[in-house]
Amino acid sequence: MMPGEPVADASGQGVRRRDFINIAATSFAGVGAGVAIVPLLMQFAPSADVQALSTTEVDISKIQPGQGIKAVWRKQPVFIRNLLPAEIAAANKVDVGSLRDPQSLADRTKPGKANWLITLGVCTHLGCVPLGIGEGENRGEYGGYFCPCHGSAYDTAGRIRKGPAPKNLVVPEYSFTSPTVVQIG
């Protein structure tokens, strides 16, 4: 029989040989995919190793008031800043209700640790890394961070004040494991 020549089925209708081959191949792929799902699902359960990698411990003992550092957590930059009293005062002076993304400094820091502002260093517009954590970098007109990509300005609490970014810089999950060590994640 030639390739493509009709094959008579029970209903008497012709089914081309090539169609048979395609149907057989598809069924086999279906079985293969079913078998493959089990190990894939098992891979989704994070191992202890992976869970450990999802947190980062940072020593903050050397960060003086007015300074900040950039850490890395899950491949993303994290800004850790030790705010000056004047920066805390500037953040607290703002009418929260007037903000695009209304949050107080207290909402964004831990109780009794308002000087430690910990945020992702990722602009909430399109994901650039804003300036301002490095010594001497442009901190924008609100004194926090400035994203030069499209001109978003964040204040001393990392809240969006001007430009296209819709949200404040994200505060990740974190905790103080000691007075000088922060665990992010």
Binding site for ligand FES (CB under 6 A): 123, 125-128, 147, 149-152, 163-165
Least distance from ligand FES to the Cβ atom of residue 71, Å:
20
125 catalytic? Reply is: no
Beta carbon nearer to ligand FES, 110 or 162: 162
The closest alpha carbon to 79, from 116, 106, 127, belongs to: 116
- DSSP 8-state assignment for residue 168: P
Catalytic position from the list 150, 166, 167, 177: 150
Is 115 buried (19+), middle (13-18) or exposed (0-12) by CB count in 10 A? middle
Tell me if 153 sits within 8 A of 140, measured CB to CB: yes
Count CA atoms closer than 13 A to 111's CA, side-chain side: 0
State the Cα–Cα distance between residues 161 and 74, nearest whole angstrom: 27
Q: Where are the alpha helices (DSSP H) in the chain?
A: 17-44, 48-53, 85-93
Closest approach, Cβ 26 to ligand FES, in A, equals 45
Smallest gap from residue 148 Cβ to ligand FES (A): 8
The residues assigned a catalytic role are 150
